[in-house]
């Protein structure tokens, strides 16, 4: 299975995200990753194959990536082998959209073909990267809000999934969406930590 966490508040996000992911470790996973952003600064992304311990070591317990807003993920590979390249978060080439995803996008090949025709490049084997680039495509096409871009994408995506998304133009904001029950246990799988429920 898999897990998603998010944090936005007055503390450093990295250690809190790692702590959140450790609470979901029992679900099983093959890789993990974090994206953390410090206000208007460029988002920092760190991913690791294997145990959370490796991700924690790579980020010095989450402290080497600074910022108060971020998302984290433990992956159970469905599309593409367990690897650092396939680990989440995934991002558009200009890092306009950064996201983590649980579940499966059934029509990812058809959507990927369309996005390749539109000029998008893909670096992983995942269905997740397709969702990220579809959201980026609609965000830029309609010059609308994150919610519009996610809504347009959800109309096109078939499957059961949960997403946590960050947008370059919207620092200190995390957008989440869910359709169906991507991991069978939606309450645990899609736990989004925020300052109000921290430690709950
Ligand atoms: N289908 C996605 C992948 O293979 C997400 C898997 C998951 O739910 O962890 O990366």
Q: What is the mean pLDDT of residues 143-147?
A: 88
Asked whether residue 188 carries a pLDDT value surpassing 50, the answer given is no
How far is C-alpha 67 from the geometric centre of its chain's CA atoms?
A: 16
**Which tokens belong to 72?**
């984290």
Which residue among 2, 30, 32, 160 is best mutated to probe the pocket of ligand 1, counting the most ligand atoms within 8 A of its Cβ? 2
Ligand 1 in reach of 56 Cβ (< 6 A): no
User: pLDDT tens digits, residue range 163-175?
Assistant: 999 999 999 999 9
CA atoms within 13 A on the CB side of 141: 13
- pTM score: 0.90
CA atoms within 13 A on the CB side of 143: 0
Asked whether residue 183 carries a pLDDT value surpassing 80, the answer given is no
User: pLDDT tens digits, residue range 43-98?
Assistant: 999 999 999 999 999 999 999 999 999 999 999 999 999 999 999 999 999 999 99
Res 181: pLDDT = 75
Asked whether residue 185 carries a pLDDT value surpassing 70, the answer given is no
Q: Is 181 helix (H, G, I), strand (E, B) or coil?
A: coil
User: pLDDT tens digits, residue range 89-144?
Assistant: 999 999 999 999 999 999 999 999 999 999 999 999 999 999 999 999 999 999 77
Ligand 1 in reach of 103 Cβ (< 6 A): yes
Res 2: pLDDT = 79
Whole-number Å distance, alpha carbon 39 to ligand 1 midpoint, is 28
Select the more confidently predicted residue: 196 or 6: 6
Ligand 1 in reach of 2 Cβ (< 6 A): yes
Which residue among 28, 71, 73, 75 is best mutated to probe the pocket of ligand 1, counting the most ligand atoms within 8 A of its Cβ? 75
Range 173-189 burial, b when 16+ CB lie within 10 A, else e: ebbbbbeebbbeeeeeb
Spatial strand order of the sheet with 90-91 comes to 90-91, 97-105, 159-167, 175-179
Distance from C-alpha of 135 to C-alpha of 137, rounded to nearest angstrom: 5
* Continuous H helices in the chain: 13-23, 52-58, 108-117, 128-142, 146-156, 186-189
**Which tokens belong to 92?**
């558009």
Asked whether residue 191 carries a pLDDT value surpassing 60, the answer given is no
Res 169: pLDDT = 96
């Amino acid at each position: 299975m898999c897990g998603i966490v998010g944090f936005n508040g007055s503390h450093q996000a990295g250690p809190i995200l790692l702590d959140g992911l450790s609470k979901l470790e029992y679900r099983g996973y093959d890789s993990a990753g974090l994206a953390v952003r410090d206000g208007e600064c460029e988002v920092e992304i760190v991913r690791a194959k294997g145990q959370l311990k490796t991700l924690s070591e790579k980020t010095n317990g989450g402290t080497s990536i600074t910022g108060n807003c971020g998302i984290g993920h433990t992956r159970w590979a469905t599309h593409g082998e367990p690897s650092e390249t396939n680990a989440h978060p995934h991002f558009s080439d200009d890092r306009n959209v950064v996201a983590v995803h649980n579940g499966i996008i059934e029509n990812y090949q058809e959507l990927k073909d369309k996005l390749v025709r539109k000029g998008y490049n893909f670096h992983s084997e995942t269905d997740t990267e397709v969702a990220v680039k579809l959201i980026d495509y609609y965000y830029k096409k309609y010059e609308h809000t994150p919610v519009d871009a996610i809504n347009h994408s959800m109309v096109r995506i078939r499957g059961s999934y949960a997403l946590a998304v960050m947008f370059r133009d919207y620092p200190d904001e995390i957008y989440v969406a869910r359709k169906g029950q991507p991991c069978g246990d939606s309450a645990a799988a899609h736990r989004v930590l925020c300052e109000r429920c921290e430690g709950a």
